[in-house]
Amino acid sequence: MPVMSSEDFAIHTDKCVAAEEGMPISSLPDEVTSIKDLECECWDKFESLDEI
Ligand SMILES: [Zn+2]
């Protein structure tokens, strides 16, 4: 499940250290249209949004 950081509202995987203080979200925001919109390197292991 994606996690939104409460610090800067960036989206992370639930495995990311930056997500420890974050809030789980059930779906990605509409403005996220590709994996490249998720800037943290914790998404590098995903090839596309379909895998999330
Ligand atoms: Zn991250």
Q: What is the pLDDT of residue 11?
A: 96
For ligand 1, the distance from its centroid to the CA atom of residue 29, given in whole angstroms, is 16
* Six token digits for residue 26: 């059930």
Q: Which residues of the chain have pLDDT under 70?
A: none
Residue 44 CA, ligand 1 centroid: distance in Å: 9
* Ligand 1 center to 5 CA (angstroms): 9
Q: For 1-47, where are the E strands, in sequence order?
A: 3-4, 11-12, 23-24
pTM of the predicted protein model: 0.85
Query: How is residue 44 written in tokens?
Result: 């590098």
* pLDDT at residue number 52: 82
CB atoms within 10 A of CB 7: 9
CA gap 7, 50 in Å, rounded: 26
Alpha carbon distance 34, 50 (integer Å): 10
